[in-house]
Chains A and B, each alone.
Chain A
Amino acid sequence: MVIWAILSGIEGNLAAYEAVLADIKRQRQPVEELYILGDIIAATPASANVIQRIRSPRDHEPEPQVCRGWWEEQLLILHGSGRTGEPTELIEYYGAEQVKALWDAIPRSTVNWIQSLDFGFFELDCLLIHGSTVSVSDELTPNTPPIQMLDRLMRMDANYLFCGRSGLTFQYEIQQGSITSSVTTLDHTAPPQATLVKPRQVIGVGNVGRIPGQATYTLYNPYANQVEFRTVRYGPRKGFQSI
């Protein structure tokens, strides 16, 4: 049985990443693939340690496959190689002071590696991406309108879209659908045609590092199409340990 571990949003939190790796090791079925859907960094110097850890997996750990997230995109904008010229979103969400904080937090020596990250992965019938097929900033949630979800799936013709931008764990199944369309051109009118929608899903994979002491991620069996959300509690407050 093949199992993928899919996570997103480490955000420079090495302890959270270690806790998730430990949970992955504990799985009865071994995890063969580890996908990290971006936001491995944030505006914190600890991000450098996370990058180092991701790039140097230990023996018997799966080699992480990492794609670009929102934070990586903001960093690349600062270094002049993002998709826009100005860090408008970074300033809007976190304030102007975070521009310098992010710039200072990430060593120059790792920027080329970040720049080399893929926008996403297409494996079997699954698209694995940080935001969506539109951009790293596109946030899909359980409340996203169905027509928008379907659009994001169909842009790459994926049956399953795994994303991490919202940080939420959710499974959004488009079970069925239909629409009728007719086209008139200068030369002819085509009769109305019904188009059916096959089942497809968008899966929010959770967030590893944002909430201290609690990481969420996703296990997926691509042959059985089984999704399992995992919650990992870590740190001194875990269980009955003393603080």
Chain B
Amino acid sequence: MKIAVISCIHGNYEALNEVLLDIDRHQVEQIYCLGDLVGYGPYPNAVVEMIRSLDIPTCQGCWDEDVVEGLNACECSYPSLLAEKRGRLAHEWTNQEIHPETRSFLAQLPLSLRDGNLCFVHGSPHSQHEYMLPDMHAFTAMERVLATGADTLFCGHTHIPYVRQLESGQLQVRVSSGQSSQRPNQQTSNFSAPLKRIVNAGSVGEPRHGRTNATYVLYDAETEQVTLREVEYDYQKTCAAIVEKGLPSIFAWRLARGLEFAERADDPTHVCER
């Protein structure tokens, strides 16, 4: 079975349309979406309506959560203060723009999805706000996959697609328990982890890999082959709509470059502790 995984559409209807056409051309049997349907972009309602009408299983992203729950995350929810300032403006705009049925749809999204040995989350299994970057410590990355019980973990949130293979993981531990008056009970054991994979689906509507194309992934369940896809779309149309609808023009600027410099600042691994 061939599946497509899309993420981080961020109200970019033009990009979503073009990605869905590309998916159509690859005879995909199932599409999964990793959330962040809204935020930054000009068409949050249209994007949600499209996902809902196509009955695409979707998990909740951090933006979807914030629009539903209110922006109650602490500032470390954003990787930098600059990103937070811009994010707040986008949040306020989106919050006013979305229809009640859009909000209701976002509210009922699950935090994760499972399909056999595949697991789908927005950020990480522990938090929608955690960035699983490709250079995350390999054991930390392995822990995130093992926490799901799956063999392959699909995530988004960073807006940059990658495939990471983790193998030959082993740890040697010695555990002593007991009290001073007793002989401690000491045990040595070895832990080994099987082959695991993390697949980041990139971003349909707000790519940050250095080009303007939308990104998503194809996965062949038979061969376990992952294909990172880049899809051209009329990003200028979305940029114009961002400006026209009164969203901060910085979002159009970065969409036209496929970059977000603010996200490179501070500590992207830090997670809000609500």
Contact = CB atoms under 8 A, between A and B. Distances in A.
Nearest to A134: B126
A169 B172 contact: no
Contact of A173 (B135, B168, B173, B228): B173
Interface of A is mostly: strand
Interface string A161-187: 000000011111111111111111111
A121 interface: no
Contact of A147 (B146, B168, B180): B146
Contact of B142 (A172, A174, A179): A179
A183 B162 contact: yes
**Interface bin, chain B:** 35 or more
Interface string A43-63: 000000000000000000000
A69 to B, nearest CB: 16
Contacts, number: 131
Interface string B147-176: 000000000000011111111111111111
A155 B189 CA distance: 23
Nearest to B228: A186
A221 B205 CA distance: 54
B203 interface: no
Interface in B181-201: 181, 184, 188-189, 191, 193
A145 interface: yes
- Tell me which of A135, A142, A204 has the highest count of chain B C-beta atoms within 10 A of its own C-beta: A142
Interface in A60-101: 83-84
A154 interface: yes
A195 B138 contact: yes
Nearest to B229: A186
A147 B191 contact: yes
Interface string B128-149: 0000001101111111001000
A137 interface: no
B96 interface: no
Nearest to B271: A155
A216 interface: yes
A177 B137 contact: no
Contacts of A179: 138-139, 142, 166-170, 193
Given A83-B274, A186-B230, A228-B180, A175 B172 contact: yes
B55 interface: no
Contacts of A210: none
Contacts of B180: 228-231
A30 interface: no
A148 interface: yes
Contacts of B177: 142, 168-171, 204
A193 to B, nearest CB: 8
A183 B134 contact: yes
A24 interface: no
A169 B164 contact: no
B92 to A, nearest CB: 24
A146 B134 CA distance: 22
A173 B177 CA distance: 11
B161 A185 contact: yes
Given A147-B139, A192-B167, 7 more contacts: A145-B191, A151-B140, A171-B184, A174-B173, A179-B167, A183-B164, A195-B137
18 contacts: A84-B274, A134-B126, A147-B142, A154-B139, A172-B175, A175-B173, A177-B172, A178-B168, A178-B170, A179-B142, A182-B164, A183-B135, A184-B162, A185-B160, A186-B209, A195-B138, A216-B179, A231-B179
Interface of B: 126, 134-135, 137-143, 146, 160-181, 184, 188-189, 191, 193, 209, 215, 228, 230, 273-274
